[in-house]
Amino acid sequence: MREKIVLDLGKLPLHGMGTASITWWGTLAFMLIEGTGFALAIAVYLYLMSLATAWPINAPPPDLLPGTLVTLILLASLVPNILLSRWAEQQDLRKVRIGMVIMSILGTLPLIVRVFEFPALKVSWDSNAYGSVVWTLLGLHTTHIITDLVDTLVLAALMFTRHGRSARRFGDVQDNVMYWNFVVATWLPLYGCIYWLARL
């Protein structure tokens, strides 16, 4: 078969940003997987709740303080996170470095408070099905934070190396910002579920 050249692609950029980026779509697909997982975990909570004669089962509702504190930290972290995304878009390496350090700290803080959140549930995972499901919900989200924190730390380190000054890295930062927004967004229904449904 003969080939006929009808298009020259030579002028296209060497890397796509935003919706032209393959990793952006991949991140979105992984968010869909994890979002489905969280939705199903909440469905399990509601299912077990609908079967129980009293809810929580043989336990008081969880203490509000640590969970609410985590929620506030997570919500507050959105501000520098969104700023970081803008700086990455402007490809301002100095500001991005600062932003990545701030986000590394803001990723660690909720984990510290989270240590106090597990005992505040006032039930053990092996006490009953209620305990099992709230520990699982909290455990899932903790894994979520840890995963993104490790990603943030590695990326922050990377931004301080010679590899940092690259459109590809700024795109990575933007994807990381999007993922952290997702970590915060998934927490809100979980927070409502763990702390407020138990008080209905």
Partner 1 sequence: MTRPAPAPDARDSDRTLLAGALAETWKTPSGFWGALATVDHKIIGRRYIFTAFVFLALGGVLAALMRIQLAQPEARLLGPDRYNQIFTMHGANMMFLFAVPVMEAVAVYLVPLMVGTRNIAFPRLNAFSYWIYLAGGALLWTAFALDMGPDVGWFAYVPLSGPQYGTGKRADIWAQMITFTEISALAVAVELVVTIFKQRAPGMTLDRIPVFVWAMLVTSFLVIMAMPAIVLASTSLILDRLVGTHFYNPAEGGDVLLWQHLFWFFGHPEVYIIFLPAAGMVSTMIEPFARRPAFGYLGLVMALIATGILAFGLWVHHMFVAGLPRLGDSFFTASSMAIAIPAGIQVFCWLATLWDGTPVFKTPLLFIVGFIVTFVIGGLNGVMVASVPFDTQVHDTYFVVAHFHYVLIGGAVFPLLGAIHYWFPKLTGRTMSETLGQWSFWLVFVGFNATFFPMHILGLEGMPRRIYTYQPDLPWHGLNLFVSFSAVILTAGFLLFFVNAIRSARFGEIAPDNPWDAPTLEWATTSPPPSYNFAMIPIVGSLRPLWDDRDTLPIADGLRTDRRELIVTTLATAEPQAREASPQNSIWPLWAAIATTIMLIWSIFSPWAVVWGSIPVAFALIGWFWPKGTPEDGS
40: phi then psi, degrees, rounded to nearest 5: -70, -35
By CB under 8 A, residue 181 contacts partner 1: no
Tell me how far, at minimum, the Cβ of 174 lies from partner 1, in Å. 13
Rule CB under 8 A: is residue 200 a binding residue for partner 1? no
CB 178 within 8 A of CB 148: no
Q: Smallest distance, Å, CB 117 to partner 1?
A: 18
Q: Does 121 bind partner 1 (CB under 8 A)?
A: no
CA 53 centroid distance within chain: 34
CB of 73 or CB of 88, closer to partner 1? 88
- What string marks each residue from 41 to 80 as x (binds partner 1 by CB under 8 A) or -? x--x--xx--xx----x-----------------------
Structure tokens at 81: 């996170």
Q: Which of 76, 168, 189, 196: binder of partner 1 (CB under 8 A)?
A: 168
Applying CB under 8 A, among 84, 133, 183, 198 the residue interacting with partner 1 is 133
DSSP sequence for 41-63: HHHHHHHHHHH-SSSSTTSPPPP
User: How far is CA 104 from each of CA 6, 87, 110, 151, 188, rounded to the nearest angstrom?
Assistant: 48, 16, 11, 9, 21
Are 104 and 31 within 8 A, CB to CB?
no
Burial of 19 (0-12, 13-18, 19+ CB in 10 A): exposed
**Position among 136, 142, 178, 197 found at the interface with partner 1 (CB under 8 A):** 136
Q: Is 123 in the site for partner 1 (CB under 8 A)?
A: no
Question: Tokens 């979002």 correspond to what residue?
Answer: 35
Collapsing DSSP to helix, strand or coil, 17 comes out as coil
When the beta carbons of 135 and 180 are compared against partner 1, the nearer one is: 135
Q: What's the closest the beta carbon of residue 65 comes to partner 1, in angstroms? A: 26
**Residues of this chain that bind partner 1 (CB under 8 A):** 1-16, 19-22, 25-26, 29-30, 32-34, 36-37, 40-41, 44, 47-48, 51-52, 57, 91, 125-133, 135-136, 150, 154, 158, 163, 166-168
